[in-house]
């Protein structure tokens, strides 16, 4: 059973009279609990593909099934609900909400996306605070913590709703070497602990070295698939 199944995915952008083919006939399958990365140079289509998987955008043509749902047919509201329940996001710039504390940032999806009893909510947030090692900073605001700590909070926020899938767009791009390794380690630990699938778009060799399956994109085409450990080649 695949978590993600993409068939003949194509994405075109129209700029005036010019049609840019961002993705050309992409096919792949990703299994649950995988640690997967899409790599490639800038403009190769990594982020576009992640946006399609994350239901933030729709393909021009092709079929895309995520966690048993045909995401191409979802409307705006259904997409939002689907993202809230099924997908966690980790951004390159962390994108924490500056007016909320570390605790409140992690709690946010449980308040705004899901309806969970306060006691369960508290338990879940504290569990994740502990898992990412941010218990002592839980009362601090994003501007009072370091970049690495911010990304740990972002990881916790992405996992708080128990999503099947976490999408991370260049998650280590703004982190130093040591912190990047620490964040990657944390995400692997989370994958092992919560059985969540992590998909990255990156050209960071630190991540590349750690993933199970490595997809290489070039000019919108899937050039190669490298199964490093535990994954299944299916492109």
Partner 1 sequence: MRNLFKIAVRNLMRYKRRTSLTVSLISIGVVFVLVFISVSGSFKNMMIGQITDSLVGHIQVHRKGYLAAIENMPLDLNLKFSEFKQLENTLSKQSEIEAYSPRIKLGGMLSNFVATSNISLIAVYPDMEFKTLPLLPSKIINGAKKFNRGEIIIPELLATGMNVKVGDVVVVVATNNDGSVNGKQFKVAGIVERLFGPSGRNGYMHIEDAAELLRMEEIEVNEVAIRLKNFDMLNPMNQKLEKLLSEELSPQGKQLFEVHTWEKLTPFSTIARMIDVMTFFIKLMLTAIVLISIMNVMIMAVYERIREIGTIAAIGTLPGKILSMFIIEGLCLGVAGVAIGNIMGMLIIFIINSLRFTFNFGMVTGLLLSAKIHPADLLSISITVIIVSIIASLEPAFKASKMEPIKALRHI
Contact residues for partner 1, defined by CB under 8 A = 51, 54, 56-57, 76-77, 80-85, 87-89, 91, 95, 97-100, 108-109, 111-113, 157-158, 161
Structure tokens at 112: 């705004």
* Shortest distance, position 152 Cβ to partner 1, whole Å: 17
Which C-beta is closer to partner 1: that of 77 or that of 177? 77
For residues 35 and 89, which CB has a smaller minimum distance to partner 1 in the complex?
89
CB of 117 to partner 1, least distance (A): 14
CA 231 to chain centre: 18
State the DSSP H helix or E strand holding residue 102, giving kind and residue range, or none if neither: helix 102-112
Closest CA to 69 of 5, 163, 136, 165: 5
Identify which of residues 162 and 224 has a Cβ nearer to partner 1 in the complex.
Answer: 162
The span from the CA of 215 to the CA of 198, in Å, is: 13
What is the CA angle 202-220-26, rounded to 5?
A: 95
Tell me how far, at minimum, the Cβ of 41 lies from partner 1, in Å.
Answer: 19
- Taking the complex as a whole, the smallest distance from the CB of residue 52 to partner 1 amounts, in Å, to 10
Cα gap 181→175, rounded to integer Å: 9
Residue 86 · residue 67 · CB < 8 Å? yes
Beta carbon of residue 206, minimum distance to partner 1 (angstroms, whole number): 24
Unique residue bearing structure tokens 């933030």: 56
| Pick 83 or 191: Cβ nearer partner 1 | 83
Query: Which CB atom, from 77 or from 178, has the smaller least distance to partner 1?
Result: 77
CA distance linking residue 235 with residue 231, whole number of Å: 12
Helix (H, G, I), strand (E, B) or coil at 168: strand
Whose Cβ is closer to partner 1: residue 62's or residue 163's?
Answer: 163
d(CA 64, CA 222): 15
CB of 89 to partner 1, least distance (A): 5
């Amino acid at each position: 059973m695949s978590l993600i199944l993409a068939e003949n995915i194509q994405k075109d952008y129209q700029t005036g009279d010019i049609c840019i083919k961002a993705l050309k006939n992409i096919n792949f399958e990703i299994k649950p609990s995988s640690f997967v990365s899409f790599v490639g140079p800038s403009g190769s289509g990594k982020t576009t593909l992640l946006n399609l998987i994350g239901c933030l955008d729709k393909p021009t043509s092709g079929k895309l099934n995520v966690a048993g749902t045909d995401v191409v047919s979802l409307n705006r509201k259904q997409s939002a609900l689907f993202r809230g329940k099924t997908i966690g996001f980790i951004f390159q710039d962390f994108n924490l909400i500056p007016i909320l504390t570390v605790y409140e940032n992690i709690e946010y999806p449980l308040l705004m996306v899901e309806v969970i009893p306060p006691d369960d909510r508290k338990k879940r947030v504290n569990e994740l605070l502990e898992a990412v090692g941010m218990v002592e900073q839980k009362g601090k605001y994003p501007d009072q913590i370091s970049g690495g700590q911010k990304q740990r909070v972002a990881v916790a926020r992405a996992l708080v709703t128990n999503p099947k899938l976490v999408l991370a767009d260049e998650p280590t791009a703004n982190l130093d070497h040591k912190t990047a390794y620490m964040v990657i380690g944390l995400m692997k630990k989370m994958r092992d602990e919560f059985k969540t699938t992590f998909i990255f778009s990156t050209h960071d060799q630190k991540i590349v070295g750690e993933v199970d399956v490595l997809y290489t994109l070039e000019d919108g085409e899937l050039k190669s698939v490298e199964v490093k450990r535990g994954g299944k080649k299916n492109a």
